[in-house]
Structures are given as structure tokens and as C-alpha cells.
Amino acid sequence: IKIVQPEAVAGVGTDQLLKELGHAAKLTHPNILPVHDAGVENGHPYIVMPLIAGGSLRDRLQQAVRLPLAEALGILDGVCRALSRAHSR
């Protein structure tokens, strides 16, 4: 369960966030985490997704000053495939 920070929705708003998460929940692709649920509880937006072992991309980027080229290209390939899938839907 991820609690969305207020500054993350400041320019978008909670209603728009929930609408977009509803669209994201319909996407299926190996490089897109499924959204199991999303909502607002006591004024705090939240998202329920599966827990993935190994940490986030942010964690990985903080571990290395510079990623090896093959790893960086693999990450970029996965992101591009996920974006392509999302845009095609």
C-alpha cells in the first residue's frame, strides 16, 4: 500500500489521480505493476499494488553513480515497452 504524498497530487488533484489510476488498473504488461485498488481514506489518497522484491529503480540509481550500459539499456527497453503498451490502450 502506497500513501500518495500531497505534493504529488497538488497540480493534478485527487479526483484526476483516481481516474488515471482506474485507467492504469486496466493495463496488463510484464513491465507495468498492476493496480489492485486505489482510493482516499481520511483525506489521504492511496494505491494498492503488489510488493516487488529488490527495491525500486530510484533505489538502484542511488546505489550506482553510473549504471553499466547493458543494465541501463535493459531498464530503458522495459520502460519504453510499458509506455508503448499504455499509449496503445
pTM over 0.75: no
* pLDDT at residue 17, rounded to an integer: 86
* pLDDT at residue 64, rounded to an integer: 82
Residues 6 or more apart from 39 whose CB is under 8 A from it? 18, 45, 46
* pLDDT at residue 10, rounded to an integer: 83
Q: How confident is the model at residue 76 (pLDDT cuts 50, 70, 90)?
A: very high
C-alpha cell at 65: 553513480
Per-residue pLDDT tens over the stretch 18-53 = 888 888 888 889 999 899 999 989 888 999 999 888
